[in-house]
Homo-oligomer: A and B are copies of this chain.
Amino acid sequence: MKRLIDIAEAAGVSEATVSRVLNGRAGVNEDTRRSVIDVARRMGRDVGPAAAGGGPLVGVLVPDLDNQVFTAWAERIEAELFERGASTLVALRARTVEREREILQRFLHCGVEAIIVVSGHHAQERAPMDHYREVTAAGVPLVLINGVQEDLDAAYLSTDDEHAVRAVLTHLQDLGHQRVGLAVGDEHTWPVREKVRVFEAVTRDWSPRPQPIAFTDFSYAGGYEAARDLVQRGATAIVCGSDVMAAGALEGVRSEGLRVPQDISVVGYDDVFWAALTDPPLTTVRQAVGSIARAAVRTALGGGEDSRRPARTEVVVRPQLIVRGSTAAGPDGAASMER
């Protein structure tokens, strides 16, 4: 097998550049990359998949593909990596920390250049962080989406849940709703804690108070049960932690003999593909999946060897309230006069 230095001399580049190309790493321009591969092949060097156009490899971990917002994250991140000439391996279902660790180790074993984790255990309160430190210790950049840990050097990119909850509550208040229920999943996760914290802060001065909260799970059945519970507790509007929950809530409200939006307003979260197709179409919060995915990929691939040391950065991106047919004037609100 030809030595790197021979290929480097023949191609007129440094040995380090040849090494980067043959290992499929970033930071080499496309013309140089092609020229190195041509020379290497002419000299009889076996050029593996990493070098042969596949570009750098990035591991992406999402919780599941059942909730379409996680699918959207995987899809957008993969699309951004593809645009930049990188390949993506997606893993899912890291329900336990031990399994998350196995997946991260798999990624390292496959030779990934960076790892992006969406709503992983970093979103959990008091989760162990050692398996993340193994990644950063290996010099592999770690990008963590929707969840922040104080004592771990990684890049954090999150949706501004505070802004989202405030926008939803202002919208419902403008419509005259005075009793709003919040339906969310596991209260030990970062997005739920954030939503509950802001919900309680904003509604502190509302009357009556406290406003009702239902802790359930982020599923259709969870939304269905939460909606029935919150309606029975007097809510005239239900704010759900996901669109899947909101779809269940639409049915839950109907099962109580009530109409959406005439009797009860329902708000989703995520703006998945079908959110505009439900009956009525869902008012929801559109996470800035595209711009966060772009930033995550930029951070993951970095600009070259020097910038690739793990360092703590934190970015928060504002989501957008999308008003559709599932919200309307509350039963007693002055706003009902305007509609």
List 9 A-B pairs, Cβ < 8 Å: A49-B108, A49-B109, A53-B98, A53-B99, A54-B102, A68-B71, A87-B106, A88-B91, A89-B91
Interface residue tally for chain A (C-beta within 8 Å): 42
Centre residue among A57, A102, A247 by max chain B CB count within 10 A: A102
Instruction: Report Cα–Cα, A252/B48, bound state, in Å.
Output: 48
Assess A68 versus B103: contact at CB under 8 Å? Given A53-B98, A90-B92, A91-B87.
no
Q: Which B residues are CB-close (under 8 A) to A244?
A: 273
User: Is there an interface contact between A90 and B87, defined as CB atoms closer than 8 Å?
Assistant: no
Q: Which of A192-200, A230-238, A274-282 contacts B (4 or more CB under 8 A)?
A: A274-282
Instruction: Report Cα–Cα, A54/B71, bound state, in Å.
Output: 23
Interface residues of A in 103-143 (CB under 8 A from B): 103, 105-106, 108-111
Q: Which of A74-82, A183-191, A286-294, A312-320 contacts B (4 or more CB under 8 A)?
A: A74-82
Assess A102 versus B53: contact at CB under 8 Å? Given A89-B90, A111-B109.
yes
Enumerate chain A interface residues (CB-CB to B < 8 A): 48-50, 52-54, 57, 64-66, 68, 71-72, 74-75, 78-79, 82, 87-93, 98-99, 102-103, 105-106, 108-111, 244, 247, 273-274, 277-279
Assess A106 versus B57: contact at CB under 8 Å? Given A65-B75, A75-B64, A90-B90.
yes
Number of copies: 2
Centre residue among A71, A93, A277 by max chain B CB count within 10 A: A277
Q: Which B residues are CB-close (under 8 A) to A99?
A: 53
Q: Which residue of B lies closest to A95 (CB)?
A: B82
Instruction: Report Cα–Cα, A78/B68, bound state, in Å.
Output: 16
Partner of A274, one of B64, B66, B274: B274
User: Is there an interface contact between A87 and B102, defined as CB atoms closer than 8 Å?
Assistant: yes
Instruction: Report Cα–Cα, A108/B65, bound state, in Å.
Output: 24
Q: Which B residues are CB-close (under 8 A) to A72?
A: 65
Instruction: Report Cα–Cα, A262/B126, bound state, in Å.
Output: 56
Assess A88 versus B98: contact at CB under 8 Å? Given A110-B110, A277-B247.
no
Assess A54 versus B93: contact at CB under 8 Å? Given A75-B64, A278-B274.
no
User: Is there an interface contact between B106 and A110, defined as CB atoms closer than 8 Å?
Assistant: yes
Centre residue among A54, A65, A103, A244 by max chain B CB count within 10 A: A65
Assess A52 versus B102: contact at CB under 8 Å? Given A65-B75, A71-B65, A247-B274.
yes
User: Is there an interface contact between B110 and A109, defined as CB atoms closer than 8 Å?
Assistant: yes
User: Is there an interface contact between B91 and A106, defined as CB atoms closer than 8 Å?
Assistant: no
Q: Which residue of B lies closest to A109 (CB)?
A: B49
Assess A49 versus B105: contact at CB under 8 Å? Given A87-B91, A91-B89, A93-B78.
yes
Q: Which B residues are CB-close (under 8 A) to A109?
A: 48-50, 110-111
Instruction: Report Cα–Cα, A279/B326, bound state, in Å.
Output: 14
Q: Which B residues are CB-close (under 8 A) to A273?
A: 68, 244, 274
Instruction: Report Cα–Cα, A66/B75, bound state, in Å.
Output: 7
Assess A89 versus B110: contact at CB under 8 Å? Given A53-B98, A279-B279.
yes
> Separation in Å of the A12 CB from the closest CB of chain B?
27
